[in-house]
Amino acid sequence: MADVFSRSKRSEVMAAVRSRGNQATELRLITILRAAGLTGWRRQQPLPGRPDFIFRHARVAVFVDGCFWHGCPLHGRRPATRKAFWDRKLDRNAARDREVNRLLRRRGWRVVRIWEHALKAAPRVAARLRAALRAGPLRGGVYQVRTR
């Protein structure tokens, strides 16, 4: 499908989508957390990848990933124009997500990534978070936290 926007207009549009999208999805997750009675979360903590939410005691880091920017298998369709540009950018985003997961796990954080589209299924999101919170910090294996 041909892009309806010019190159520069497309960049502008996508930049706006990103900033607005993040805020809207984070607010939606806050609503889900409150409705589910999940408390004790914090935001904007200085951790790798700047998780959208963290539960410090359970060491659970939560990200809400936009379907476009993070390459959701259902909705992460890449623009047909400026293919090289978008491939490079979106591949880099995916690589960064993997690296952030690795860094957090190495520090003992359990990483929960929620697709933007999954926020429509509030009960499922709440159940997944509850399970992660019950499971608590990662232990053993490659994700073991080292003391020195």
The pair of structure tokens assigned to 3 is 């892009």
Instruction: In angstroms, give the least distance from the CB of 86 to Zn ion.
Output: 17
Where does this chain touch Zn ion (CB under 5 A) — which range of 24-32, 63-71, 82-90, 125-133? 63-71
Q: For residues 117 and 128, which CB has a smaller minimum distance to Zn ion in the complex?
A: 117
Site string for Zn ion, 77-116 (x = CB under 5 A): --------------------------------------x-
Q: For residues 10 and 113, which CB has a smaller minimum distance to Zn ion in the complex?
A: 113
- Residue 72 binds Zn ion (CB under 5 A): yes
Q: Which of 58, 67, 100, 119 binds Zn ion (CB under 5 A)?
A: 67
Tell me how crowded residue 138 is: count the other CB atoms within 10 A of its CB: 20
Q: Phi and psi of 60, rounded to 5°? A: -120, 125
Q: How far apart are CA 136 and CA 1, in angstroms?
A: 45
Nearest to 114 by CA among 78, 56, 72: 72
Nearest to 65 by CA among 108, 125, 12, 11: 125
Q: Which of 1, 2, 4, 74 binds Zn ion (CB under 5 A)?
A: 74
- What HEC string does 30-86 produce? HHHHHHCCCCCEECCCCCCCCCCEEECCCCEEEEEECCCCCCCCCCCCCCCCCHHHH
Q: Which of 9, 75, 124, 139 binds Zn ion (CB under 5 A)?
A: 75
Q: For residues 119 and 133, which CB has a smaller minimum distance to Zn ion in the complex?
A: 119
Which residues in this chain contact Zn ion in the complex, by CB under 5 A?
A: 67, 72, 74-75, 115, 117
